């Protein structure tokens, strides 16, 4: 390291002392960072559940109650509703993206893994409704989120489709983006009609991918 004059200071002992202090700081900081991530994930899961039931305008007090915290904690992490909605959206995108490889590894067949992932994707889409309104006039922010959505989820869906096609379970002429758009279109309006079960129609769509024997 250098002092104010630019001269090199500290030999081996100085290097070890600095390294030891840094190491201790890292060790002390890791649990705090891990706890902070878990706490934030709990808040986001609670918000997502509230959004499913009441939409993105769900009262903050209800979200706080689900998470077992005070409303001040919510506002400390997410000063505005748009901040909260965007964070939930990104959190759900990541969860959906991470689920794909896990389902493919654990599922009995690639087609079964694809079906389970599409179920998760449908549930995710419920939290997406109302996003544009929550962001109000932030068109750039909305477009950025949409790009993130495509960048993370299209490759995951493509991997599942490719695996199911390679195993001979489904046809191979449908792209991931086409499938995701089809699923998304079937989910439109589901939040306003309790009698409309989008999942049933999505299941019919996914079943239609099967190759005829």
Q: What is the DSSP string of 186-211?
A: HHTTGGG-TT--HHHHHHHHHHTTBP
Q: Yes or no: say if 55 and 128 are a contact pair by the CB < 8 Å rule.
A: no
- CA of residue 178 relative to chain centroid, distance: 20
Q: What value does the mean pLDDT take over residues 136-160?
A: 86
- Tell me how far CA of residue 107 lies from CA of 104, 113, 115, 117, 127, in angstroms: 5, 5, 10, 10, 26
CA angle 175, 180, 122 (to 5 degrees): 150
Structural domain including 71 reads: 10-79
Instruction: Specify if 165 maps to a domain.
Output: yes
pTM of the predicted protein model: 0.74
Q: What value does the mean pLDDT take over residues 93-102?
A: 96
Look at residues 38, 54, 79 and tell me which one is the last residue of a structural domain: 79
pLDDT band at 203 (very low <50, low <70, confident <90, very high): very high
Would you tell me how many other CB atoms lie within 10 Å of the CB of residue 134?
21
110 shares a domain with 63:
no
CA angle 40, 45, 48 (to 5 degrees): 125
Look at residues 39, 58, 79 and tell me which one is the last residue of a structural domain: 79
What is the chain's mean pLDDT, rounded?
82
pLDDT band at 133 (very low <50, low <70, confident <90, very high): low
Q: Yes or no: say if 86 and 135 are a contact pair by the CB < 8 Å rule.
A: yes
pLDDT(20) > 70: no
Mapped onto helix, strand or coil, the DSSP state of residue 2 is strand
Instruction: Specify if 5 maps to a domain.
Output: no
- Percentage with pLDDT > 70 across the chain: 78
pLDDT(188) > 50: yes
Give me the residue label for tokens 């896990």.
102
pLDDT for 33: 74
pLDDT for 12: 37
DSSP state of 5: T
pLDDT for 151: 96
Return d(Cα 4, Cα 21) in angstroms, integer: 21
Instruction: Specify if 2 maps to a domain.
Output: no
38 shares a domain with 104:
no
pLDDT in tens, 55-97: 788 999 999 999 999 999 999 999 988 889 889 989 989 999 9
């Amino acid at each position: 390291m250098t002092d104010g004059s630019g001269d090199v200071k500290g030999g081996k002992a100085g290097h070890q002392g600095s390294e030891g202090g840094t190491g201790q700081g890292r060790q002390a900081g890791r649990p705090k960072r891990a706890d902070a991530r878990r706490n934030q994930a709990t808040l986001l899961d609670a918000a997502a559940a509230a959004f499913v039931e009441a939409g993105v305008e769900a009262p903050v007090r209800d979200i706080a109650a689900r998470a077992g915290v005070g409303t001040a904690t919510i506002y400390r992490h997410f000063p505005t509703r748009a901040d909260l909605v965007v964070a939930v959206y990104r959190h759900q995108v990541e969860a959906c993206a991470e689920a794909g490889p896990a389902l493919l590894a654990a599922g009995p067949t690639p087609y079964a893994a694809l079906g389970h992932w599409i179920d998760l994707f449908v549930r995710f889409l419920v939290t997406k409704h109302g996003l544009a309104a929550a962001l109000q006039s932030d068109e750039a922010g909305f477009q950025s989120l949409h790009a993130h959505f495509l960048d993370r989820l299209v490759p995951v869906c493509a991997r599942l489709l490719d695996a199911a096609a390679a195993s001979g379970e489904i046809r191979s002429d449908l792209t991931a983006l086409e499938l995701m758009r089809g699923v998304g279109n079937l989910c439109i309006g589901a939040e306003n009609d309790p009698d409309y079960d989008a999942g049933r129609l999505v299941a019919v769509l996914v079943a239609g991918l099967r190759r005829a024997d």
